[in-house]
Amino acid sequence: MPSQREIRRRIGAVKNIRQITRAMQFVAASKLKRAQESTLAARPYGTSIDEVIADLAAVLGVEGHPLLRTPEAGSAKLLVLFTSDRGLAGALNSNLIRHALKELESAGEGTRIVTVGKKGRDALARGGYEITAAFPGFGDKPTFADVTPLVRLLVDDFLGGRAASVTLIHPVFVSTLVQRPEAVQLLPIRPSADTAGIPGNQFLFEPDPATVLEALLPRYTATRVFQAVLESTACEQSSRMVAMKNATESASDIIAAQTLIYNKVRQANITREMIEIASGASAA
């Protein structure tokens, strides 16, 4: 049976941990609101670009731009894994890494990897995978300019024939409690098949569809990568908030259990002392 002093130390240590996890929970909750608003606000923009590209592709065909064409056989696939730089985010990173490993198995040999975030880079490096390029996370307030170097790398590899396809592996923010890992093909761009009789007639293009497509596709690629970054940021903050909330509740349960043990030990010590006093008095 531990002594009262040991139990008090345990309770004090758990209280300190609970104070930290509660603070992290509140910080993540405040960051989540901003990240969630940014993510949800960016989705309609991506949907609208999909509609325009579908209309353009229907007019020009898939050979109308290099980003729409599939490179010649022999090029390796390129996977881009988005994870966080920091831990304490529940199962978010482990689920993403597990999903990426499945994609690597199905992609076959020669697949190249680009990581965004330290957790994914470290996990794949420990697994013996060769990483083509590694980018740190883009922080709690990512901007469109932050993703420019990553987008340039992906587009250059695809146009240069070094990548047959580019797939983004990132979490999708469904709700505060649900973040789903997803693999989405970025390049070659596949226009939406849901055109419902509107291709070629939904928009009037000036000066001409080819010029509009030339300007739009690079922007579309950057938008998709930026959307993946926003989704990852919202998922990270959401997962961290839930994880820290669970940790705080677990700490409270431990404190309650240790307090009960402390009271039992204290009561047993008082009873023993009273018996010793009574025995000493009767012996005298």
**pLDDT at res. 195:** 52
Residue 203 near residue 49, CB atoms below 8 Å: no
pLDDT per residue as tens digits for the range 222-241: 999 999 999 999 999 999 99
> The whole model's pTM is what?
0.86
Using 70 as the pLDDT threshold, list the residues of the chain that sit under it: 61-64, 72-74, 192-203, 284
Tokens encoding 148: 């420019």
Q: Residue 200 — left, alpha, or beta (φ > 0 → left; ψ -120 to 50 → alpha)?
A: left
Q: What is the pLDDT of residue 49?
A: 83
Instruction: Note the Cα 84 to chain centre separation in Å.
Output: 6
The pLDDT, as a whole number, for residue 63 is 66
Q: What is the Cα–Cα distance from 118 to 2, expressed in whole angstroms?
A: 41
Question: What pLDDT, in 10s, does the model give residues 100-149?
Answer: 999 999 888 889 999 999 999 999 999 999 999 999 999 889 999 999 99
pLDDT of residue 198: 47
